[in-house]
């Protein structure tokens, strides 16, 4: 059966990239002109940054693109020696194609040390005739200004629900999995526009049965159901502390959700409940305080109990 979870390598074209129409059109113009500046691809994970770099290389260099494309992961090799030796040695050699330059793709470039970035700045400038750089990162603000001024910045956005849904349905059809509509909605909420994470969640859920619904998705991803989180919030804000605490125990024991993830889900659901603005402000301050205490090492269970207790007291006073 076709392996659609992780497809075998196939030449990817710029037209295959979804959800980044404006970026694709600009990259196509580089292919047409057979020329390009240094580039910075910035944006969330799983949105097509690496795929776009490979598709651009294939468009420019054709079938033998690998001979003119060097990919390095800056999170593994992040020191100044990598820039001075590996990158510089590759950049200074003449290209073997008719385009006139090669491409060095630095994935997770925001993990490069400041010294390495400073050395890279000079290398980008000195060897620009024979080599172009594509720097991929989650946060362009972590790239030093001198490099940003030497490159065109492309900002990738999270994929839309339609794009993710279409791919998940394709995988489910090929793998003969029954995927409920609420499961797709749950995957989109959990993955937050990350296609790679969406597929990984679906694969984890598929191991739990051929019929997949939202409850299975939340369990597979280590999160609680939105309905359970909302009920817990409503009970606490109605003054039912013990009822809310019972649902909290269910999330921790049955779903195995971490305290920080519970607070994040509560934060997301809080905006979907009809409550006065002044109460919302107070609740957010409480959540921020408890979340900070937990990250600093406070006991998670006691912290979450205190959070619900404060919510219950505020709910009673609001009434």
The residue written with tokens 């269910």 in the block is 250
Least confident of 63-77, 134-148, 285-299: 63-77
Report yes or no: 155 and 43 within 8 Å, Cβ to Cβ. yes
pLDDT of residue 81: 61
Q: Which fold has domain 226-318?
A: Zinc Finger, Delta Prime; domain 3 (1.20.272)
> Which residues is 73 bridged to in the sheet?
107
Query: Domain 14-155 is in which class?
Result: alpha beta
pLDDT of residue 4: 47
In angstroms, the CA 301 to CA 174 distance is 43
Least confident of 73-77, 145-149, 282-286: 73-77
Q: Helix (H) and strand (E) counts for the chain?
A: 15, 7
Segment 35-73, tens digit of pLDDT: 999 999 999 999 999 999 999 999 999 888 988 998 888
Report yes or no: 217 and 257 within 8 Å, Cβ to Cβ. no
pLDDT of residue 273: 85
In angstroms, the CA 54 to CA 71 distance is 9
pLDDT at 315 over 90: no
pLDDT band at 236 (very low <50, low <70, confident <90, very high): very high
Per-domain boundaries in the chain: 14-155, 161-220, 226-318
> For the chain, what percent of residues have pLDDT higher than 90?
41
What is the pTM (predicted TM-score) of this model? Answer: 0.79
pLDDT at 6 over 60: no
Helix/strand/coil for 106: strand
The residue written with tokens 């889900």 in the block is 265
Segment 163-216, tens digit of pLDDT: 999 999 999 888 888 888 889 988 998 888 899 999 999 998 888 877 888 888
Segment 245-263, tens digit of pLDDT: 999 988 888 778 888 889 9
pLDDT band at 9 (very low <50, low <70, confident <90, very high): very low
Q: What is the mean pLDDT of residues 5-30?
A: 79
Top-confidence residue, 80 or 153 = 153
pLDDT of residue 245: 92
pLDDT of residue 77: 58
* Burial of 261 per CB tally in 10 Å (0-12, 13-18, 19+): middle
Phi, psi (degrees; rounded to nearest 5) at 212: -115, 125
pLDDT at 1 over 60: no
Query: What is the average pLDDT score of the chain?
Result: 86
Q: What is the mean pLDDT of residues 90-107?
A: 87
Q: How many CA atoms lie within 13 Å of 252's alpha carbon, on the beta-carbon side?
A: 15
Q: Which fold has domain 161-220?
A: Helicase, Ruva Protein; domain 3 (1.10.8)
Cα–Cα separations (whole angstroms), residue 255 to 162, 203, 218, 250: 28, 18, 8, 7
In angstroms, the CA 279 to CA 129 distance is 60
pLDDT at 161 over 70: yes
5 Cβ contact list (under 8 Å, min separation 6): 171, 175, 199, 203
Helix/strand/coil for 102: strand
- Quote the tokens at residue 57: 């290389």
pLDDT of residue 75: 65
Taken as a whole, the chain contains a residue count of 319
In angstroms, the CA 304 to CA 302 distance is 6
pLDDT of residue 219: 83
């Amino acid at each position: 059966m076709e392996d659609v979870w992780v497809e075998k390598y196939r030449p990817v074209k710029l037209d295959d990239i979804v959800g980044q129409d404006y970026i694709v059109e600009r990259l196509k113009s580089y292919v047409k002109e057979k020329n390009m500046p240094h580039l910075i691809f910035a944006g969330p994970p799983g949105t097509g940054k690496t795929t776009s770099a490979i598709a651009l290389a294939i468009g420019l260099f054709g079938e033998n693109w690998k001979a003119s494309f060097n990919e390095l992961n800056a999170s593994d090799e992040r020191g100044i020696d990598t820039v001075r030796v590996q990158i510089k040695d590759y950049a200074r050699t003449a290209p073997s194609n008719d385009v006139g330059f090669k491409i060095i793709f630095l994935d997770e470039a925001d993990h490069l040390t400041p010294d390495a970035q400073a050395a890279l700045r000079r290398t980008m400038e000195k060897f620009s005739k024979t080599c172009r750089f594509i720097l991929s990162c989650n946060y362009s603000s972590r790239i030093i200004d001198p490099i940003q001024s030497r490159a065109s910045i492309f900002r990738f956005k999270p994929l839309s629900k339609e794009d993710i849904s279409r791919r998940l349905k394709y995988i489910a059809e090929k793998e003969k999995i029954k995927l409920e509509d609420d499961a797709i909605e749950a995957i989109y909420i959990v993955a937050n526009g990350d296609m790679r994470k969406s597929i990984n969640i679906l694969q984890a859920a598929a191991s739990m049965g051929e019929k997949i619904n939202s409850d299975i998705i939340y369990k597979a991803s280590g999160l609680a159901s939105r309905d359970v989180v909302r009920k817990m919030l409503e009970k606490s804000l109605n003054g039912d502390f013990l009822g809310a605490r019972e649902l909290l125990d269910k999330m921790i024991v049955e779903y195995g959700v971490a305290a920080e993830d519970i607070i994040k889900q509560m934060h997301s659901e809080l905006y979907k409940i009809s409550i006065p603005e002044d109460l919302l402000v107070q609740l957010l301050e409480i959540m921020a305080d408890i979340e900070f205490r937990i990250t600093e090492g406070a006991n998670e269970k006691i912290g979450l109990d205190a959070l619900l207790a404060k919510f219950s007291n505020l709910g009673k006073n609001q009434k």
